[in-house]
Amino acid sequence: MDYAIGFLLLLGVLVFIHELGHFLVAKACGIRVETFSIGMGKKILKFQKGETEYTISILPLGGYVKLTGQDPREEIPAELESKSYRSKAIWQRAAVILAGPAFNAVLAFLVLTGLFLNGVPSLAPVFARILPGSPAAEAGFRPGDRVLSIQTPDGETHRIRERSDLEEIVGKSTGRDLVFQVERDLPGSTAKGAAEVRYSPETGEERDSVTSVVSRRGIVAGAEAQALAPVVYVTDGSWAATRQVATGVYIDQIRVGAGVPVKVNTFEELAEVWSAAASETVGSSEGRVEISGRKIVAETSPNGDAAKSDKSPEPEAVTYTLAWTKASEAMPRTLEAAGLRPAELALIEVRPDSPAAKLGLQAGDLLLTLNDEKIRSFFWFRDSIQRLASEGQELKISWLRKGQTVESVIKPENVSVKDPLTEASRKQFQIGAYFMAVQAPPAVIDVRADGLLEASAMGYRKAVSLTNSMLGSFYHLAKGDISPKTLGGPLLIGKIAGESFRQGWVPFFRMMAFISLNLFLLNLFPIPVLDGGHLVLLAFEAIRRKPVSIKVIEAWTTVGFFLLMGLVVVVSFNDLSRLGLFRFFNL
């Protein structure tokens, strides 16, 4: 029921606003409006007011405003000719056509403004993880730094409120000397402090948070947006292993003795809590530490680009009691000393006949180094493989197996893989191993304006930013960076509308603003039948200084009809494929 309500409410508002734009501007230009309809097909509700019939039709997939004289073949009584669409100046007819998309853009701006007044949950502009020895670390960034503002070389200061603000400024500032104002935790305190970090973004590959396309742009090298999850790899024969702790446990909390459980969200927090717990138990002849969490197998594709959810079992809740009865067996001071390491580079599967399989890598192995350099993170390892292999360099890796370190040379294969988000195929170097790379949940903040004026400015900037991202999506779609399989029709819109409606009004209105901007852009495309197609005909009329012939209009409309029907077939096929209908028929 939520899906039906969300779908009807979303499309109803968007269609009404679009057609209202056409209607109001037509009225302002003195054009007679015969019908104002929400929906298509058979009329299920109608009433007459003045010269206009207002209707609701059975198919909620669009709407229309019928203007007297818009069809050039229509015969109009002489007394109505002055109020016909075709009797008006080109600029007036263009204004009527533009009004529909423009009202969708205005709606998106108003919705976004209202959301910023209310407060919008957004990804925080935080560098959750700074890799040791990386350019980001050398510049002075620390894990957990939240960027407050960035000053560019021209002296302009950009306030950074959410992750997309940070990505936008850094992405277009390769090689420019930027000054980052950051907020960070003070050592040994719960208070926050401020710091200034100078850094020139490097060129690297990063996935756009809106378009999902991986592209080359400015990045803070060595800074990762998400922290490492507290998932552990247990070394054979270690203190933790002798107490039956298993590899692949996502630790949620630690409790020392009968104390209060302490929750952990990242591997770094786990290390700090463990160290503090060890300090409490120094010299104790007996004691216990209880760790609780979920035993998981988090699977990703070779080098981490696609989830393998079809193989991932349900997480199993586990609790381990790590006890000792003499001081010499007390809990070690660090996680590594206890035999607990980050599990992000632990292998959970090796594809048969892959380079990893030929090398002899096995599930349970933990990668340690690449070309004698300690592997800093899973993403660093993935990106390094791409860089080194594309340069033709030899790749030497070492790994841990049953407490022993093994080393050998591996040659990645260059294979075509399908991007899980864009569904486009691209070439990538892979070794054929699946890793236990799990990221902690990203930091989320509530972005709220101080007043209506600021909310309006934020709404405008967000609308422009989303519009630019959508234009980028269309560009990448044309280039093949995004597969047509990602396009969706009414079923997908209904699914998205229903899910956002279930989540609450804020997600629902965010989706409304996003789709309203989509309608704004799509309707302006120079495609026959759409508003942009009508503008093309008006442009020809303005250039030729006489109306376009009926034959040209009919041909133009016919082309548009078939293009539109082709698009309908594609998006409907995609929608049905997502529902698994074709798998049912073995298609």
Same domain membership, residue 414 and residue 285: yes
- Answer with the one of 401, 417, 435 that is the final residue of a domain: 435
Question: Model pTM?
Answer: 0.81
> How confident is the model over 133-137, as a mean pLDDT?
94
- 250: domain CATH number? 2.30.42.10
Same domain membership, residue 155 and residue 265: no
409-458 pLDDT per residue, tens: 999 998 888 776 777 778 889 999 999 888 898 889 999 999 999 999 99
Same domain membership, residue 405 and residue 346: yes
310-355 pLDDT per residue, tens: 344 567 899 999 999 988 888 999 999 999 999 999 999 999 999 9
Same domain membership, residue 174 and residue 250: no
- Answer with the one of 401, 435, 469 that is the final residue of a domain: 435
Give the number of other Cβ atoms within 10 Å of residue 441's Cβ. Answer: 10
Q: Which residue of the set 19, 162, 206, 224 is catalytic? A: 19
In a domain, residue 500? The reply is no
Same domain membership, residue 419 and residue 274: yes
Q: What whole-number distance in Å separates Cα of residue 190 and Cα of residue 101?
A: 50
Same domain membership, residue 183 and residue 112: no
Same domain membership, residue 397 and residue 250: yes
> How confident is the model over 111-121, as a mean pLDDT?
94
In a domain, residue 557? The reply is yes
In a domain, residue 540? The reply is yes
Same domain membership, residue 412 and residue 313: yes
1-52 pLDDT per residue, tens: 667 788 888 888 999 999 999 999 999 999 999 999 998 888 888 899 989 9
In a domain, residue 306? The reply is yes
- 189: domain CATH number? 2.30.42
In a domain, residue 535? The reply is yes
User: Is the pLDDT confidence value at 188 over 60?
Assistant: yes
CA distance to 11, 485, 505, 515, per residue, from 1 (Å): 16, 27, 16, 21
Q: What whole-number distance in Å separates Cα of residue 367 and Cα of residue 382?
A: 12
- Answer with the one of 435, 450, 481 that is the final residue of a domain: 435
The mean pLDDT value of the chain amounts to: 86
Q: What whole-number distance in Å separates Cα of residue 280 and Cα of residue 322?
A: 15
Could you tell me which of 218, 215, 247, 518 has the C-alpha nearest to residue 401?
A: 247
Task: Find the helix packing angle between 505-524 and 2-28, rounded to 10°.
Answer: 50
For 333, the domain range is 231-435
Same domain membership, residue 325 and residue 270: yes
In a domain, residue 266? The reply is yes
Q: What pLDDT shows up at residue 547?
A: 80
Same domain membership, residue 77 and residue 10: yes
In a domain, residue 475? The reply is no
Q: What whole-number distance in Å separates Cα of residue 516 and Cα of residue 497?
A: 12
Number of domains in the chain: 3
The letter for the amino acid at 66 is K
- Based on the residue annotation, tell me whether 19 is a catalytic residue of this protein: yes
Q: Is the dihedral of CA 248, 254, 256, 259 positive or negative?
A: negative
Same domain membership, residue 86 and residue 62: yes
In a domain, residue 483? The reply is no
Pairing state of beta strands 413-418 and 425-430?
antiparallel
Same domain membership, residue 381 and residue 250: yes
